[in-house]
Amino acid sequence: MLKESETLCANFDHYFLRRYQWRYHLMIVDNHLFDCYGFFLQAQRANEKLLHSYELLELPHDPALYQTVLADLKAHTQLTIEFRDTHHLVHPGTNIVHDLEHGHARPTRYHSDPD
């Protein structure tokens, strides 16, 4: 097993606590902005909107290394894996200007908004 795979599995075991009434899934982001792959564990308690995200590993953009680490991760766990790509970002529909649940305590004004 590669050193990167061992680090990923160790971080996964550290954050995957198997808490009662929590949902867990993995997310892998092909980040073209920073030229890397990011591995995240996301956890959400039942009936809560807040999503906890834990960064497990960041890999350089090497497809062979990525495929090897991904295979090791799939051998380590059977959690659902969601894949995202920064070339295909999805806008939520409207600009989020006031969201108390995710840290936007004050209204936010964007450059495209008219005064």
Residue 36 CA to residue 29 CA, distance in Å, equals 8
Would strands 81-85 and 36-45 be described as parallel, antiparallel, or unpaired?
Answer: unpaired
**35's torsion region: left (phi>0), alpha (psi -120 to 50) or beta?**
left
Q: Which domain holds residue 15?
A: 3-90
For the packed helices 63-76 and 3-15, what is the interaxial angle rounded to 10 degrees?
40
pLDDT in tens, 11-55: 999 999 999 999 999 999 999 989 999 999 999 999 888 788 999
In a domain, 35, yes or no: yes
Q: Is residue 102 part of a domain?
A: no
Instruction: Quick: pLDDT tens for 55-110.
Output: 999 999 999 999 999 999 999 999 999 999 988 777 767 776 666 666 556 655 65
Please tell me the total count of domains within the chain. 1
Q: Is residue 104 part of a domain?
A: no
What are the structure tokens assigned to 58, written together?
């960041």
Q: Could you tell me whether strands 52-60 and 81-85 are parallel, antiparallel, or unpaired per DSSP bridges?
A: unpaired
pTM for the structure as a whole? 0.76
